[in-house]
Structure 1
Amino acid sequence: MPEGELYRSAPIAIEKEWIDYNGHLNMAYYNVIFDRGGDEFLAKLGFGPAYAAERKLTIYTAEVHICYVRELHLDDAVTVTSQLIDFDEKRLHTYNEIIHRDGWVAATAEVLSLHVDMSGPKVGPFPADILPGLELYKQAHSRLPMPARVGRAIGIKRK
């Protein structure tokens, strides 16, 4: 269970096919990295492959806001940190960062996810046995600073 620290994924290597004609990681693959690291965090919360296979319940992404902070290249290795910001009976609000092995932030992703009954598919409430684990993570992660990029909106600021 959490100790008031961010969840950190296993290391993820940049693959050659992910590099675009500009010589850096194509924007689509930041999503792949967030997905891989985020799946590890979801499994820690109780929503892994066995959860989907056995219960026919899963997590779908409803909305993502990505900020591309710094370029990644072929020889880079990264991890994804995840923080549970909030949850209600059917939704998860998480914040994730791609962290380069040297410690700098390459990108951030704020994510709103839905709990889905795959028989519909339709959005449905979390089972009662999942809620205590979510509450533990929420309490532990609430002791962390709120990330500056949480809640940002896209737009052009006019004077």
Structure 2
Amino acid sequence: MPTPAGGGPFLSQIMQIEPQWIDYNGHLNMAYYNVMFDRAIDQMWAELGIGPAYMKDRQGSTFTAECHVRYLREIHLGDPVRIAVWLIAADEKRLHTFEELRHADEGWISATSENMSVHIDMTRRKVAPFPADIQDNIGRVLQAHAALPRPEGLGRAIGMPKK
């Protein structure tokens, strides 16, 4: 299952910043943070049993319903990154996740992404409950992740600082 033996969050494979993702400011363009977060979620979803094979064989998938990204520190071409993913909450149709994109060698956080995903019956393109076996997989990961310290920044809202 996606939780490493050490009991931490799911860890993606190490990814590299692609040259075409660098913008005129000389750092990773904001859109490509989402590409990397999405790639990490795809890795976790495959381990939960809801990856591409699930779509093909069972006509189910997930759609992102809401996303909140925080950009904390610039990342540049050549920087290796790894994404940690926590499953924060789940019910029969939704998954609440939190992701941290970190420099893979130095460990500092570049960005976070908090998301709500919904399960979709692709034959009807409507929100639907996960099948029982998938709910069991989700439940095991949710239980393991519930024992972890909550990541800093979870539940943040956009707003001007209070004076």
Aligned: 1:122 with 2:88? no
Structure 1: tracts of 5 or more residues without a match: none
Counterpart pick for 2:20 among 17, 21, 25? 17
- Residue 158 (structure 1) shift: 3.4
Aligned: 1:84 with 2:92? no
Aligned: 1:53 with 2:56? yes
Distance (whole Å) between structure 1 residues aligned to residue 71 and residue 134 of structure 2: 33
Aligned: 1:8 with 2:11? yes
SS at match of 1:129: helix
Letter in 2 for 1:90: K
Distance (whole Å) between structure 2 residues aligned to residue 75 and residue 158 of structure 1: 38
Distance (whole Å) between structure 2 residues aligned to residue 63 and residue 144 of structure 1: 23
Aligned: 1:35 with 2:53? no
- Residue 120 (structure 1) shift: 1.9
Contact 1:13/1:76 (8 A) holds in 2: yes
Question: Residue 105 of structure 1 aligns with which residue?
Answer: 109
Distance (whole Å) between structure 2 residues aligned to residue 20 and residue 157 of structure 1: 28
Relative to the length of structure 2, the TM-score reads: 0.94
SS at match of 1:60: strand
- Residue 157 (structure 1) shift: 3.0
- Residue 43 (structure 1) shift: 1.0
Deviating beyond 6 angstroms after TM superposition, the runs of 4 or more aligned structure 1 residues are none
Aligned: 1:148 with 2:152? yes
Distance (whole Å) between structure 1 residues aligned to residue 99 and residue 84 of structure 2: 5
Structure 2: tracts of 5 or more residues without a match: none
Percent identity of the aligned residues?
52
CA RMSD of aligned residues (A): 1.0
Letter in 1 for 2:35: V
Contact 1:38/1:80 (8 A) holds in 2: no
Letter in 2 for 1:112: M
What is the total number of aligned residue pairs between the two structures? 159
**CA deviation string 1:44-84 (max 9, x = no partner):** 11111100001000011111100001101111010111010
